[in-house]
Amino acid sequence: MTLELQEKKAISEIRMEKAYKYLQDAKANLSEGRHETSTNRSYYAVLNAVRSILILTGADPESHRGAITMLSLRLIKPRVLPKDYVKIFEILLSRRTDVDYGDFDTVDIADAEDSLKIADKMIEGIDKARKEMLKSL
């Protein structure tokens, strides 16, 4: 399925709105002491931000690993986003996987706070780059 430019822009906006909503959820969960849920929401906030900018490049990955690969190929390699974003995204994915699927894995408050902090920074950078990209489309 090929999307028109206006459709890509609309999807990008929806995904970025979801990213900010999930980031707010992560903050609320952290303040309520639900570290695992906060970590999960921090990851999904970033995933939606990544997908919001990737759709503008014509990429719409269907998996978590696909999102990381496309992020690297479409946005890191051409220097649209900083190269450490791949590593940050992988850290968030690893933490999310641990808390969602690990029977005995837990996240302490320091990891949950770190996940939220790096998610916030990454989403801000992605949204800035996304808005610049929208101007040039």
Question: Residue 5 falls within a domain, yes or no?
Answer: no
Cα separation, 7 vs 80, in Å, equals 22
Question: Residue 20 falls within a domain, yes or no?
Answer: yes
Question: Residue 106 falls within a domain, yes or no?
Answer: yes
Per-residue pLDDT at 1: 59
Question: Residue 49 falls within a domain, yes or no?
Answer: yes
CB 75 within 8 A of CB 54: yes
Instruction: Give residue 61's domain range.
Output: 12-136
Taking the CB of residue 98, how many other CB atoms lie within 10 A of it?
16
For residue 137, pLDDT beyond 90: no
Q: What is the pLDDT of residues 113-126, one digit of tens each?
A: 999 999 999 999 99
Task: Record the pTM.
Answer: 0.95
Q: What is the pLDDT of residues 67-108, one digit of tens each?
A: 999 999 999 999 999 999 999 999 999 999 999 998 877 789
Q: Which CATH number belongs to the domain containing residue 114 in this structure?
A: 1.20.120.330
Q: By three-state DSSP, how is residue 4 classified?
A: coil
Q: What is the pLDDT of residues 4-57, one digit of tens each?
A: 999 999 999 999 999 999 999 999 999 999 999 999 999 999 999 999 999 999
If one counts the domains in the chain, the total is 1
Cα separation, 103 vs 86, in Å, equals 27
Question: Residue 74 falls within a domain, yes or no?
Answer: yes
